[in-house]
Amino acid sequence: MITVAVVEDDARIRRTVQEVLAKAKDCRCVAAFSNGSTAAEELPALKPDVILMDINLPDISGVECVAQISPQLPKSEIIMLTVFQDPDTIFQALAAGAHGYLVKPVMPSKLLEAIREIRNGGVPMSPSIARNVIDYFRRAGSAQAAPESAVATPLSEVDPEKNDSVLGPREQQVVEALVEGYSYKEIAGKLDISIWTVATYVRRIYEKLHVCSRREIIAKVSIKK
């Protein structure tokens, strides 16, 4: 049984999502919240398997809510729901700790499919998100190579295995192919690896993104202080 929590301010959509989950045999809606701050307080104790999170919430944004809860919920998968096809905001949410997103109107069957898929380790990455990922790691990489010593470490010498700010060569290949529009299956063929390995690379890219952006948030907070 997959336990699911819903954070959605629109009562109509929240109700429909709850009903969809109630009908599914393998899912159980354990909590529903109409605002981000209550959700951020209550969710860590509930530890649901999957959290469906609206991006536009009335108090704190869905992105902020994800940033608050995701470090406390390493085992929960967060799927963003958005009426708005706004790739920049979606990317922020993914960087903050979400693993996927669905653009509304989400058909009930698609919603359940996405929940099941993410529980089975499948993480999607659209071309526009991949594009943002490349931009992000370029900035992160150059920001890291620049300061401290006058002699900057060339990017090529940074060991990607030990460094979260840099994508490994295979990860880079995967993300570049995604930007061009290749599907996981096509990438598997192109790089001669299994489709599961492609999914693993994508998951690792997301993890690096989370670690990296969390560090960025911490850095920002300590600068403020």
Partner 1 sequence: MLTSCSVIMRRAFLALLVLSGRATAVEEIQIHQIEIDGSDYAVPLEGPITVVAMAGRLRLDFSGPVLDGIRLRYRLEGVDKSWQDPPNFMRIQIQFMDERKDIVGSIDFPIRGETPGWRQAVELSDFVPRRESMLVPAMSRSASLSILSHGHDDGVGVLGLDRIRFLVTPADGKTTKEYPLDATSGEKMDQRQGSPRFWYKGFGNRAEIAELRHRPGPQPRPILVLNDIDPQRYGNWTLINQPLPVAEGDMVTLTWDEAHSIGRSGRHIAEYTGLKPGNYAFKAELCAVDGTPTGRVITIPLVVVPPLHQRWYFWIGALTIAAGLGAWAGHAFKRRRLMQRLAELERVHALERERERIARDLHDNIGAGLTEIAMLSDWVYDDLEAYQGDDTKGRVERIRQSAMELARSVDEIVWAINPANDDLKRFANYLMQASSQFLGATTIRVRYQIPQDLPPLPISGKIRHNLFLVVREALNNTVKYAQASLVRIELDAADQIIRLVVEDDGVGFAVAHTGSDGTHEGLSSMEQRMTDIGGVLHLVTLPGRGTRIELQVHVPPGSQGHP
Q: Dihedral sign, CA of 84, 90, 92, 98?
A: positive
Within the chain, what is the greatest distance between any pair of CA atoms? 62
Task: Give min distance, CB of 158 to partner 1, in A.
Answer: 20
Give whichever of 87 and 214 is closer to partner 1, judged by the CB atom: 87
Residue 128 lies near partner 1 (rule: CB under 8 A): yes
Is the CB of residue 168 less than 8 Å from the CB of residue 161?
A: yes
Q: x/- string (CB under 8 A) for partner 1, residues 62-101?
A: ---------------------xxxxxx-x-----------
H helix and E strand count, the chain: 9, 5
Site for partner 1 in 144-163 (CB under 8 A): none
Q: Which residues pair with 53 in a beta bridge?
A: 7, 80
Which one of 44, 47, 104, 191 is in contact with partner 1 (CB under 8 A)?
A: 104
Task: Give min distance, CB of 31 to partner 1, in A.
Answer: 4
Q: How many residues bind partner 1 (CB under 8 A)?
A: 54
* Backbone phi and psi for residue 175, each to the nearest 5 degrees, phi listed first: -70, -35
Task: Please give the sequence-ordered ranges of beta strands (E in DSSP) within the chain, or none if there are none.
Answer: 2-7, 27-33, 50-54, 77-82, 100-103
**Which whole-number Å values give the CA distances from 110 to 102, 117, 161, in the listed order?**
9, 10, 35
Give whichever of 84 and 196 is closer to partner 1, judged by the CB atom: 84
Which residues in this chain contact partner 1 in the complex, by CB under 8 A?
Answer: 10-16, 18-22, 28-35, 38, 42, 45-46, 56, 58, 83-88, 90, 103-109, 126-129, 131-132, 134-135, 179-183, 186
